Structure formats: structure tokens, C-alpha cells
Amino acid sequence: MDADERYMWLALDLAAQGQGTTSPNPMVGAVLVKDGETVGTGYHQKAGGPHAEIIALEEAGEAARGATLYVTLEPCSHTGKTPPCVDRIIAAGVRKVVVAMQDPNELVNGLGLKKLQEAGIKVKSGVLEEKALRLNEVFVKYITSRRPFVTMKAAMTMDGKIATRTKASRWISGERSREFGHRLRHHTDAIMVGIGTLLADNPSLTTRLPEGGKNPLRIVVDSKANTPLDSKVVAENPEKTLIFVTDLADQERISALQAKGVGVEVLPADPEGRVPLDLLMDNLGKHEISSVLVEGGSVLNYSLLASGLVDKVYFFMAPLIFGGDTAPTPVGGTGVATVEEAWHVKDIEISHYDTDLLITGYIAYKK
């Protein structure tokens, strides 16, 4: 590992500290190095707050003059909620800038690097680029498509069941696995379930970690507005709940939910009378929801996959066997007719959480 990679790893580690707090902005880390010594570090801590480069420059002070700046994302060259970072970098007298990846935001995308070069600053791009892209996979998806990055999570038995034939499901996964799931909630903008899961389990859909954690926006896909008024997502912090219904839903039920303080979005029903998931994702993107964690049942999971909307999966497998022809599986619906039609999962990672296995991967849709 050369010096550039070593310092970029440090910048990436710093960037990761902003996970769950920077949305819809990216996670960014910065390290200033002069004469082989680190003179300033920083990471973007929250949307609207100072960028990583600015924090590192302020820590370095005059030591930034003649230094090399390592930053995980191309410095911004436009004015948003904060002034352009490139202007501060130039003014500080930085000698060289090393970046992991260009900013896919069309307002930046190469313009920041160009402005630095025009000011006489040496620029090197692409150091640990794949690592930086993976770290900011949510931001890249959101900023290029204006739709959230969608992660599907499920816990199943060794024979692929998410509940028994009587719909009993607590608890399939172990305590450490469940804590990991709550950490995913903490890092995500929104958590989504279908009306079937809501009626069966009445979940709170909150984050419960030893240190607390951030509660995501709760989204319910409920075509007919059948969400009970006494359900936990309505009775507890209704302002953190958004229910998507169709124009076929009863207006009185919609009004009753709204009277409880719940947000309700009405979308035109698809040909089967269901909430159109494409339009739902467009709607979330307009509201700057950059990531969604799906903890739904087999119907919603299948519908999202069939619509090409799932980006990543976390499948826990517990050392249990339920059996049962009618016991539900993580993905239901009509399924595929042939093996060739199956959704392939790529970039697989397998890890252990006590006796549970966690399989992580990305859906590879056929083009």
C-alpha cells in the first residue's frame, strides 16, 4: 500500500463516521498531510453542516499551505447550503489534492477538479475509487436517479420460511442479528412495510439500540387505507409515518388517518388496484428520502423485485426448520417461471452473527 492509499483509507474511515446523519448528502472524509505528518482531519457530520475539507482546513490552519489534501469525494465547486469547497482549498494554499472519486452530482462532476487544476493545484483522482463508490452507494443512486437506494432485509429459517404456518415469527433470528437490523434502521432514511405485515405484527418500526439511535420515517404501502387508527405507527409519533394509498381508497379512512397526524400520499392505482411502486419511489425522491429499508412480507418483497426497485439484500438465515406448505417465504407473488428468469445476486458477502448467517448482496437485473 502506497502513501496515497494509506491516507485515503484514513479519509474513508473518517467518512464512515457520518453514516446515517448526512442524508441526502454523501459521506465524505478529508485528511491534510504535510511533510509526512497529518495536520488536519475532518468528516461531513450532517446535512447543512461544514464539509469535510473545511473542517480539515480549519484544524490545520497555516499548516495547510503546501500540504496535500486527501478527500474521498471531489470537492464541490457550486454554492448549495454551504460555499464552494474548492475556493477555500485554493485560498488555503494546498499544493495537491488526491480524491477517491468524482462527484456524480451533475452540478459538480469534474468541475471541482478542473477548477483546482486551473488554479495550479496538482490533482490525482481514482485512489481507492471502488471503496469510495461502495461507501456512498446510497448517494450515488439517489443523486443520479432521484430515487432512493432500496435495501431488502429478511430473516428466514434454513428451509426458507419467514414464519410458521400459523404466522408465528418471533424470533427467527438471534439477538445480535436483530441488533444489526436496528443499526440498519439507524443508518436509513425510511423503513417500509406493506399493509399485510402491519396488520399481522403491528410493528413500531423504531430503532432500538443500546445507545438509542435515529428513528427512520415509517412508510406503509396500503392501497385501500386499511391501516388501523390504533396501530403503533399511527398512535406513536404519527408525524414520523407516511402511508401510500391509491385513489380507490375510501376518503373517510384517508381523512381519519390524516386527522391523527399521519401523512397520506394518494397515488393513481395500477391496473391491479395496487400502489404503483415506481411512482412511490419517485415521490420519496422528491422528498429527499435517499434510502429505504424494506422489512415487508413476501407480497411487497416480490412486487419490489418484479418492479426492478431493489438494490441490495440482507438475508439472515437461522439454524431452524419450520416446514409447512403454507408457511410464508421471503419472496412470494407469482414468482418466475424458469431458472433463467431468476433474479441473480452478485458481490456476495457471508458473515456470522452468533449462530445466524448473514448473506449480503446486490440484485443484478437483466438489461
Contacts of 278 (CB under 8 A, 6+ apart): 307, 309
Q: How many Å apart are CA 163 and CA 134, to the nearest integer?
A: 32
**Torsion region of 313: left, alpha or beta (phi above 0 gives left; psi -120 to 50 gives alpha):** beta
Q: Can you give the pTM of this predicted structure?
A: 0.92
Asked whether residue 77 is marked as a ligand-binding residue, the answer is no
Per-residue pLDDT of the chain (367 residues; tens, 9 = 90+): 799 999 999 999 999 999 989 999 999 999 999 999 999 999 999 988 999 999 999 999 999 999 999 999 999 887 666 678 999 999 999 999 999 999 998 878 889 999 999 999 999 999 999 999 999 999 999 999 999 999 999 999 999 999 999 988 889 999 999 999 999 999 999 999 999 999 999 999 999 998 888 999 999 999 999 999 999 999 999 999 999 999 999 999 999 999 999 999 999 999 999 999 999 999 999 999 999 999 989 999 999 999 999 999 999 999 999 999 999 999 999 999 999 999 999 999 999 999 999 999 999 998 7
pLDDT, residue 79, reads 65
The answer to whether the CB of 242 falls within 8 A of the CB of 257 is: no
> 112, 139, 166: which is the final residue of a domain?
139
Number of domains present in the structure of the chain? 2
Rg of the chain (C-alpha set): 23
Distance spanning both ends of the chain, measured CA to CA: 37
> 91, 106, 139: which is the final residue of a domain?
139
> 108, 139, 170: which is the final residue of a domain?
139
What are φ and ψ of residue 347, in 5° steps? 50, 50
Give the H/E segment covering residue 111. helix 111-118
- Same structural domain, 183 and 296: yes
Closest CA to 19 of 184, 151, 153, 148: 184
- Same structural domain, 354 and 215: yes
pLDDT, residue 212, reads 85
CATH number at residue 311: 3.40.430.10
Length of the chain: 367
Asked whether residue 301 is marked as a ligand-binding residue, the answer is yes
Q: At what angle do helices 85-92 and 111-118 cross, to 10 degrees?
A: 20
Domain range holding 113? 3-139
- Same structural domain, 82 and 208: no
Asked whether residue 85 is marked as a ligand-binding residue, the answer is yes
pLDDT, residue 17, reads 95
- Same structural domain, 159 and 33: no
Asked whether residue 155 is marked as a ligand-binding residue, the answer is yes
Q: How many Å apart are CA 19 and CA 283, to the nearest integer?
A: 23
pLDDT, residue 108, reads 82
Asked whether residue 298 is marked as a ligand-binding residue, the answer is yes
> Choosing from 5, 37, 53, 340, which is the catalytic residue?
53
- Same structural domain, 234 and 355: yes
Give the amino acid at 158. M
pLDDT, residue 244, reads 98
- Same structural domain, 299 and 343: yes
- Same structural domain, 36 and 109: yes
Q: How many Å apart are CA 331 and CA 12, to the nearest integer?
A: 35
Q: How many Å apart are CA 238 and CA 261, to the nearest integer?
A: 5
pLDDT, residue 80, reads 65
- Same structural domain, 135 and 154: no
- Same structural domain, 185 and 127: no
- Same structural domain, 319 and 239: yes
CATH number at residue 85: 3.40.140.10
pLDDT, residue 77, reads 80
Q: Is 53 a catalytic residue?
A: yes
- Same structural domain, 134 and 152: no
- Same structural domain, 242 and 340: yes
